[in-house]
Amino acid sequence: MRALLSVSNKAGLVEFAQGLLELGFELVSTGGTHKTLQAAGLEVVYVSEVTGFPEILDGRVKTLHPRIHAGLLATKRPAHEAQLQAQGIPRIDLLCVNLYPFRETLARGASFEECLENIDIGGPAMLRAAAKNHQAVLPVCDPADYPEVLQALRTGVSSEFRRRLAYKAFAHTAAYDAAIAEFLAYEKFPQTQLLSLERLPVELRYGENPHQEAALYALEGQRGPVLHARVLAGKPMGFNNYADADAAWALVSEFELPACVAVKHANPCGVALADDPKTAWERARDADTLSVFGGVVAFNRPVDLETAMATRGTFLEVLIAPEVSPEALEWFRSKKPDLRVLVAASQDADQREVRPLVGGFLVQDRDKRRWEELSLHYVTERIPTAQELLDLKFAWYVGKHTRSNNVVLAKDGVTVGLGTGAVSRIWAAERAIQNAGERARGAVLASEAFFPFDDVVRAAAAAGVTAIVQPGGAKRDEEVIAACNELGVAMIFTGSRHFKH
């Protein structure tokens, strides 16, 4: 039996090779792999001794040879066996290959030329050959599989195991090629967009509903703050928990001051700023004590014991923060054993967003526009006060992360009324005003899209709202501005809508 080993990732290589030798394999290897095995004192044949041809072009050509690929592609059919014997080509029974570190080279910001040099050619060719011929050749591309491969060789390799390794090899080369294609794309949204997804080691009971089977995937090479969060305590996460935590974390991350966001069904139900996370939680909770029950909360500051204890008496599904103190974690485990406690993972700021449609996807830049980037237009006779301006900024961020149509009422850094996911803007406003009640008096209002009529202004002013921020750009903007001037309401146009469907 013969095994060909050619790996960039040397983890577990020597132990795996030793195991193959003990099973009676002859080892053949290339370049750095050969040096590593020789240095470990293992008996190994250099690939040039098999091909009768030296490595050339700085190692670009070493395994692209009939004596290698015939050994990989020959089936167990008599005709193939006869041709191998006639040419004096030994069969290769196991191929162990992992590819040049192209993605790692790209990630560390290497030059274009260095990235090109780290595009593997021979490795994918051999892996694909072995995977195609997996009934005769065992393709191995993941060091994590080495122990299982050795065990299977000792006890008997099943056809199911061979097929699983073949699938893994083709998936490995497909993802590798997708990364290269994206690197070489000459436009932001190329004609062919290749999305490589990697299943996460998370066991979901079901998808959005119990009758929907599901698995959770991450875009390869990207880290999600919630998808890759550390789960410190509580029951296993479900998809809806991930979705709500993702929405909560996205919003709380917008704020520079200590903040807490409570979310229900991917919409904020209570958002607050404060001098410390405990007070932020209490203000967010009190913004809507009914909806926060069974919700998800996110903090943009570490959660300490005092903050943890303040959640007593409120049933929550998930809590996510940049850190959780050991004392707080112990309290959660003791007093709220079912609460999922997460520490958010770091995130690449340049990630794109993929939104599904039946039969396809939207690929778009994330909505990262910040208040400071807006061209604000003060369109009314009355200019917002300093406090109103702070609250308008706060409410604008909340609206940016709330399902359309939405209207947000806020006062002193706390949401006091939310109208979300309405099919009419006036209905969204009426819902927010009703939710706020007396708290609407002296509050500000934010809308993620323009006002087609002046009805929202009149309803808001009647409830006591004093200032409004909205994109502007409607046909009846002059009527809307006139209504504000008539009622003494300050208004700012941002020139930037934030639909969220």
pTM for the whole thing? Answer: 0.85
Max mean pLDDT range (67-81, 118-132, 363-377, 384-398): 384-398
Give the tens place of pLDDT for each residue, 443-459. 999 999 999 999 999 99
Among 65, 80, 132, 228, the one annotated catalytic: 132
Concatenating the DSSP letter of every residue in 367-418 gives ----GGGS--EE-SSSPPPHHHHHHHHHHHHHHHTSPSS-EEEEETTEEEEE
Residue the block writes with tokens 């909360």: 297
Beta strands at 94-98 and 138-140: parallel, antiparallel or unpaired: parallel
226 within 8 A of 351, measured Cβ to Cβ: no
Residue the block writes with tokens 């009529």: 453
Q: In whole angstroms, what is the distance from residue 137 CA to residue 162 CA?
A: 8
Among 265, 400, 401, 500, the one annotated catalytic: 265
Q: Is the pLDDT of residue 69 over 90?
A: no
How much is the average pLDDT of 41-48? 83
Give the tens place of pLDDT for each residue, 230-267. 999 998 888 999 999 999 999 999 999 999 999 999 99
90 SS3 class: coil
In angstroms, the Cα distances linking 57 to 61, 129, 374 are: 6, 23, 54
219 within 8 A of 197, measured Cβ to Cβ: yes
Percent of the chain predicted with pLDDT > 70 = 96
Backbone angles phi, psi at 305, to 5 degrees: -60, -40
Helix and strand counts by DSSP (H, E) for the chain: 18, 21
Give the tens place of pLDDT for each residue, 169-202. 999 999 888 888 888 887 888 888 888 888 898 8
132 part of the active site: yes
Q: Is the pLDDT of residue 160 over 70?
A: yes
Residue 146 confidence (pLDDT) = 94
Q: Is the pLDDT of residue 106 over 70?
A: yes
How much is the average pLDDT of 110-128? 86
Residue 361 confidence (pLDDT) = 85
245 within 8 A of 296, measured Cβ to Cβ: yes
Alpha-carbon 366 to chain mean position: 12
Strands (E) located in 99-168: 138-140
Percent of the chain predicted with pLDDT > 90 = 62
How much is the average pLDDT of 115-140? 89
Q: pLDDT tier at 381 (50, 70, 90 boundaries)? A: very high
How much is the average pLDDT of 144-151? 93
Domains and CATH numbers, the chain: 2-184 (3.40.50.1380), 226-343 (3.40.140.20), 372-493 (3.40.140.20)
How would you class 387 by CB atoms within 10 Å of its CB: exposed for 0-12, middle for 13-18, buried for 19 or more? middle
In Å, the largest CA–CA distance within the chain is: 98
Residue 119 or 65, more confident? 119
Residue 349 confidence (pLDDT) = 62
Q: In whole angstroms, what is the distance from residue 482 CA to residue 108 CA?
A: 55
217 SS3 class: strand
Residue 26 or 443, more confident? 443
Which range, of 44-58, 95-109, 143-157, averages the lowest pLDDT?
44-58
Q: Retrieve residue 382's tokens.
A: 């009355």
Q: Is the pLDDT of residue 428 over 80?
A: yes
265 part of the active site: yes
Residue 62 confidence (pLDDT) = 62
Residue 169 confidence (pLDDT) = 95
How much is the average pLDDT of 471-494? 96
Q: Is the pLDDT of residue 223 over 70?
A: yes
What torsion do the CA atoms of 171, 177, 179, 184 make, to the nearest 10 degrees?
-170
Q: Retrieve residue 298's tokens.
A: 């996110």
Could you tell me which of 278, 276, 341 has the C-alpha nearest to residue 306?
278
Q: How many other CB atoms are there within 10 angstroms of residue 211's CB atom? A: 7
Q: pLDDT tier at 500 (50, 70, 90 boundaries)? A: confident
Give the tens place of pLDDT for each residue, 288-301. 999 999 999 999 99
Residues 6+ apart with CB under 8 A from 382: 484, 485, 488, 489, 490
Residue 61 confidence (pLDDT) = 64
Return the DSSP state at 423.
S
Residue 275 confidence (pLDDT) = 97
Residue 184 confidence (pLDDT) = 86
Mean pLDDT of the chain: 90
Residue 51 confidence (pLDDT) = 67
Residue 64 confidence (pLDDT) = 67
